[in-house]
Amino acid sequence: MAWQRRQFLGLIPATAISLHVSGETVADVAEVPRTLLASPPVVQHPAADGFTVNVAVSALATGWVQWGRTADQLDQTAIAHRHGLIRASDRALSVRVPLGDSLPNGGTIFYRFVVQPLAYKNAYQLMRGETQATRVYRLSLPDPGAQQVTVAIVNDTHEQPQTLLALHERLRGLAPDVLVWNGDTCNDFDEQDDPLQIVLNPAKDPSRDWAAERPLLFVPGNHDVRGARARELATGLSGWPGQADLPYNFALRLGPIALVGLDTGEDKPDQHPVFAGTAAYEPYRELQATWLKSAVARPEIATAPVRIAICHIPLRGLPGENDGTSLEGYAAFSGMGAKLWLPILRQTEFKAVISGHTHRDRIDDPTPDEPITQVVGGGPQPDRATITVLRAQGQTVDLEVQDLAGRPLHRRQWSGNAS
Ligand SMILES: [Fe+2]
């Protein structure tokens, strides 16, 4: 990191800083921008034993989460570390907050994300600056045993600012318990793009949050794996803890709904020349089929009144559409995902698959051959964008696909018979 003390001193009063070297305090500090926090917090990976919070930063920093049961008593602290070393990053910080037995069935906590600049002059001369903190957020974690839940799903936002701002507004009104971002956050992550800003600060304003007070479930799209900086996606929207090989698969019980996330990957075969030997989505889809078989057998998934899967590329095509298994064109639906996953979803009586990718909303109702409804969300432009809302109450789930003004475009309802 550049050592530019004079520049730093122009930003923060020197009296506010200190440096600890071999036990002595020296007036010196890491260079730090005034706004080290470069995004709102993004909550992910809700589970009985904890949740994750990520935030983008504009310079090298460490970070931690202070949380508690009331807004004025944040008496617990979680900090990210690995083999003893506290994590630091100049892009984004990710903190897993362990709940232990303190909040086993969902509930509300209050938290703020704190960051502190870090610079190394050498191994024994580390410089720290003043901490900066987000405001205190009220986070509601979903209760797997709740009688009702609301889930909102958005897709194919492709960095469209007008659409993203409108979606943030709509979500404030809808106040869902969980938000799902069903792929294609970007057009690509090229050298000049900042993937962390695209995925953690989509409204381009750290004061505008959409997943600071509810968890975000991320499902990757084919554009999210493209470009020289695509591998930075996982720094912003990190994979689920303990799932190195299948980072974005999830099977969650959210009240009456079991929600399963699948990753359809790219829209062309792995051997397509445009990938130049960088694609391995075919074995990845096979691995997900094995995972799916065990996920749907888990008691909380098998006994849910209504099971719903989410994946970016549709699993059902319209007549004559490209299934993405040839070198011609690109997939309108994932032929390989359909072949591998649909039999498992049918066998376990999934009611619906929710997708995006085609940039045009539609519903494919069940047929004699295909008992599962397919819901396809809209596109990136404001006049094509949609928000899909699932409202579950007891044994019944109502689905409504809405436009950005909140007008209903499609409605369906499912009732479960399991309990
Ligand atoms: Fe797509």
pLDDT of residue 102: 66
**Parallel, antiparallel or unpaired: strands 137-141 and 107-122:** antiparallel
| Percent of the residues in the chain that have a pLDDT greater than 90, as a whole number | 88
Ligand 1 centroid distance, CA of 268 (Å): 11
Among the listed residues 397, 387, 389, 388, the one whose alpha carbon sits nearest the alpha carbon of residue 418: 397
The first and second tokens of residue 28, run together, are 């010196």
pLDDT at residue 75 is higher than 70? yes
308 DSSP β-pair partners: 259, 352
Ligand 1 centroid distance, CA of 160 (Å): 14
Mean pLDDT across 300-308 = 97
Structural domains in the chain plus CATH codes: 5-141 (2.60.40), 148-415 (3.60.21.10)
Q: What is the C-alpha R_g of the chain?
A: 22
Ligand 1 centroid distance, CA of 297 (Å): 29
Mean pLDDT across 95-103 = 83
The 10s digit of each residue's pLDDT in 199-231 is 999 999 999 999 999 999 999 999 999 999 999
Contact 119, 5 (CB under 8 A): no
pLDDT tier, 44 (very low <50, low <70, confident <90, very high otherwise)? very high
Ligand 1 centroid distance, CA of 184 (Å): 5
pTM equals 0.92
pLDDT at residue 2 is higher than 80? no
pLDDT at residue 63 is higher than 70? yes
Distance CA 292, CA 218 (A): 17
The CA-based angle 211-112-205, given to 5 degrees, is: 50
Ligand 1 centroid distance, CA of 109 (Å): 35
Ligand 1 centroid distance, CA of 106 (Å): 32
The first and second tokens of residue 253, run together, are 């019980």
Q: CA 403 → CA 124, 149, 216, 240, distances in Å?
A: 57, 21, 20, 30
Ligand 1 centroid distance, CA of 237 (Å): 17
Ligand 1 centroid distance, CA of 343 (Å): 23
The 10s digit of each residue's pLDDT in 49-61 is 899 999 999 999 9
Q: What is the DSSP string of 76-118?
A: EEEE-EETTEEP-BSSEEEEEEE-TTSSBTBEEEEEEEEEEEE
259 DSSP β-pair partners: 252, 308
End-to-end CA distance of the chain: 57
Question: Would you call 282 helix, strand, or coil by DSSP?
Answer: helix
Contact 186, 223 (CB under 8 A): yes
Ligand 1 centroid distance, CA of 163 (Å): 16
pLDDT of residue 22: 39
18 DSSP β-pair partners: 128
Ligand 1 centroid distance, CA of 356 (Å): 7
Ligand 1 centroid distance, CA of 4 (Å): 43
CB atoms under 10 Å from CB of 36, counted, come to 22
pLDDT at residue 131 is higher than 90? yes
Mean pLDDT across 112-116 = 98
Ligand 1 centroid distance, CA of 96 (Å): 29
Distance CA 396, CA 117 (A): 49
Ligand 1 centroid distance, CA of 140 (Å): 30
Question: Would you call 138 helix, strand, or coil by DSSP?
Answer: strand
Among the listed residues 133, 138, 134, 135, the one whose alpha carbon sits nearest the alpha carbon of residue 70: 138
pLDDT at residue 137 is higher than 80? yes
pLDDT of residue 28: 54
pLDDT at residue 329 is higher than 60? yes
The 10s digit of each residue's pLDDT in 334-392 is 999 999 999 999 999 999 999 999 999 999 999 999 999 999 999 999 999 999 999 99
Burial of 305 (0-12, 13-18, 19+ CB in 10 A): buried
Ligand 1 centroid distance, CA of 224 (Å): 9
Rounded mean pLDDT of the chain?
92
Ligand 1 centroid distance, CA of 376 (Å): 11
The 10s digit of each residue's pLDDT in 237-254 is 999 999 999 999 999 999
Ligand 1 centroid distance, CA of 151 (Å): 21
pLDDT tier, 8 (very low <50, low <70, confident <90, very high otherwise)? very low
pLDDT at residue 4 is higher than 70? no
